[in-house]
């Protein structure tokens, strides 16, 4: 049984998860999306061409470079970046619509995207950084993931190191020793943040009634 009072609404939140690749973030995100019906993945806009099977509005919003740049200039992105020759960004409007319904949005972005979102998302932002339990385990996961040369893995390790240096910019830190424990931990963060006073809309009217003043 839940603790829901219909007259108390809730403003959704933006849950950002960042980590070096190989720390297990994708597994944790997927489990969260599977198990918690109140949260869904953010959808990015991109200038790259759709791949076979990709669905407009579900996998991506596919836009032209001109349209993308117009959106940047109009401040329509929560965060955006150029990756090689393509642009990627998260449009604010669809996220806002979800938050207003009292539902949450999950973002899988790096420290640069998160830095942008600290300005654009403000009080709606909740940020979690996922760390691997050890260098050895990170190395092992980066190896398992792709059958690449030692050189490629070394490059990935260096990139992981750069990403990890940004842990002090996040609200919560999860060290992914055990993936089930990590899923539960991120779920706790989500559950707790939903109970924050400032997200519970209608509380003022609810308490006014409780106090017999209405």
Q: Which is nearer to a second copy, 1 or 93 (CB)?
A: 1
Minimum Å gap between C-beta 11 and a second copy is 13
Can residue 151 be called a binding residue for a second copy (CB under 8 A)? Answer: no
Residue 195: count of CB within 10 angstroms of its CB: 10
Q: Which is nearer to a second copy, 6 or 57 (CB)?
A: 6
| Out of 4, 64, 144, 149, the residue judged to bind a second copy by CB under 8 A | 4
Give the whole-angstrom CA distance, residue 117 versus residue 107.
10
Sequential DSSP letters for 60-74:
EEE--HHHHHHHHHT
Minimum Å gap between C-beta 182 and a second copy is 6
CA nearest neighbour of 24 among 140, 126, 168, 141? 141
Give the whole-angstrom CA distance, residue 131 versus residue 170.
12
Minimum Å gap between C-beta 160 and a second copy is 8
| Out of 41, 81, 98, 203, the residue judged to bind a second copy by CB under 8 A | 203
Can residue 115 be called a binding residue for a second copy (CB under 8 A)? Answer: no
Stretches 60-68, 103-111, 142-150, 174-182: which one binds a second copy (CB under 8 A)? Answer: 174-182
Alpha carbon separation from 189 to 50, 163, 171, 212 (Å, rounded): 34, 22, 10, 34
Can residue 167 be called a binding residue for a second copy (CB under 8 A)? Answer: yes
Residue 143: count of CB within 10 angstroms of its CB: 15
Q: How far is CA 5 from the centre of its chain?
A: 27
Can residue 171 be called a binding residue for a second copy (CB under 8 A)? Answer: yes
Q: Which is nearer to a second copy, 58 or 211 (CB)?
A: 211
CA nearest neighbour of 203 among 9, 54, 53? 9
Stretches 28-36, 77-85, 108-116, 168-176: which one binds a second copy (CB under 8 A)? Answer: 168-176
Can residue 149 be called a binding residue for a second copy (CB under 8 A)? Answer: no
Q: Which is nearer to a second copy, 71 or 160 (CB)?
A: 160
Angle at CA of residue 50, ends 44 and 51, nearest 5°: 115
Residue 55, SS3 per DSSP: coil
Write out the residues near a second copy by the rule CB under 8 A. 1-5, 8, 128-129, 131-135, 138, 157, 161, 164-165, 167-168, 170-178, 180-182, 184-185, 187-189, 191-193, 195-197, 200, 203-204, 206-207, 209-213
């Amino acid at each position: 049984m839940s603790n829901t009072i219909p007259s108390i609404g809730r403003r959704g939140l933006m849950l950002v998860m960042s980590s070096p690749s190989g720390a297990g973030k994708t597994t944790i995100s997927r489990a969260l999306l599977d198990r918690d019906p109140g949260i869904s993945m953010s959808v990015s806009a991109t200038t790259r061409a759709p791949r076979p099977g990709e669905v407009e509005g579900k996998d991506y919003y596919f836009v032209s470079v001109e349209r993308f740049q117009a959106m940047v200039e109009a401040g329509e992105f929560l965060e955006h970046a150029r990756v090689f020759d393509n642009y990627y960004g998260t449009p604010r409007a669809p996220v806002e619509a979800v938050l207003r319904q009292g539902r949450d949005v999950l973002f899988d972005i790096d420290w640069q995207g998160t830095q942008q979102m600290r300005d654009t998302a403000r009080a709606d932002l909740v940020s979690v950084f996922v760390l691997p339990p050890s260098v050895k385990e990170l190395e092992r996961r980066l190896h398992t993931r792709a059958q690449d040369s030692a050189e490629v893995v070394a490059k990935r390790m260096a990139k992981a190191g750069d990403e990890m240096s940004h842990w002090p910019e996040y609200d919560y830190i999860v060290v992914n020793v055990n993936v089930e424990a990590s899923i539960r931990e991120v779920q706790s963060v989500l559950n707790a943040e939903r109970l924050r006073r400032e997200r519970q809309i209608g509380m003022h009217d609810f308490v006014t009634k409780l106090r017999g003043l209405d």
